[in-house]
């Protein structure tokens, strides 16, 4: 017989108390809900970032078109002044 059993020390852990099991279950449920909220937030955030990136590309394209049109107008005005 080992010294541990001689002194009455139990080798196996005690079963969890019912109230701690309920607390763990409730904590797990709350963590699951927070995780779902975070996943939904990330999904919305991704959509917003995609929309902003698309709008940025549209604005960049428009600026490029306006620069080209402005350059053409300046060139036309310069030629008109030479005549």
- At 10-47, the pLDDT tens digits run 566 666 677 788 999 999 999 999 999 999 999 999 99
Q: Taking a C-beta distance cutoff of 8 angstroms, is the pair 11, 4 a contact?
A: yes
pLDDT for the residue numbered 42 = 98
Question: Is residue 42 one of the residues assigned to a domain?
Answer: yes
Look at the chain and count its residues.
83
pLDDT for the residue numbered 5 = 54
Question: Is residue 14 one of the residues assigned to a domain?
Answer: no
Q: What angle do CA 16, 20, 22 make, to 5 degrees?
A: 115
Question: Is residue 4 one of the residues assigned to a domain?
Answer: no
4: pLDDT strictly greater than 60: no
How deeply is 2 buried, as exposed, middle or buried, from its count of CB atoms within 10 A (0-12, 13-18, 19+)? Answer: exposed
Question: Is residue 10 one of the residues assigned to a domain?
Answer: no
Question: Is residue 59 one of the residues assigned to a domain?
Answer: yes
Calculate the average pLDDT of the chain: 87
Structural domains of the chain, count = 1
pLDDT for the residue numbered 40 = 98
pLDDT, tens digit, for every residue of 42-63? 999 999 999 999 999 999 999 9
Question: Is residue 11 one of the residues assigned to a domain?
Answer: no
- Please give the model's pTM, rounded to 2 decimal places: 0.56
Question: Is residue 1 one of the residues assigned to a domain?
Answer: no
Q: Taking a C-beta distance cutoff of 8 angstroms, is the pair 22, 15 a contact?
A: no
- The parent domain of residue 47 ranges over 19-82
Question: Is residue 7 one of the residues assigned to a domain?
Answer: no
- Residues 6 or more apart from 24 whose CB is under 8 A from it? 16
Six-digit token pair at 35?
A: 């995780």
């Amino acid at each position: 017989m080992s010294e541990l059993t001689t002194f009455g020390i139990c080798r196996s852990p005690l079963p969890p108390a019912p109230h701690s099991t309920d607390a763990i279950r409730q904590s797990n449920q709350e963590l699951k809900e927070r995780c779902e909220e975070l996943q939904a937030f990330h999904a919305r955030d991704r959509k917003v970032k995609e929309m902003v990136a698309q709008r940025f590309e549209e604005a960049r394209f428009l600026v490029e078109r306006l620069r080209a049109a402005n350059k053409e107008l300046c060139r036309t005005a310069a030629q008109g002044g030479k005549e």
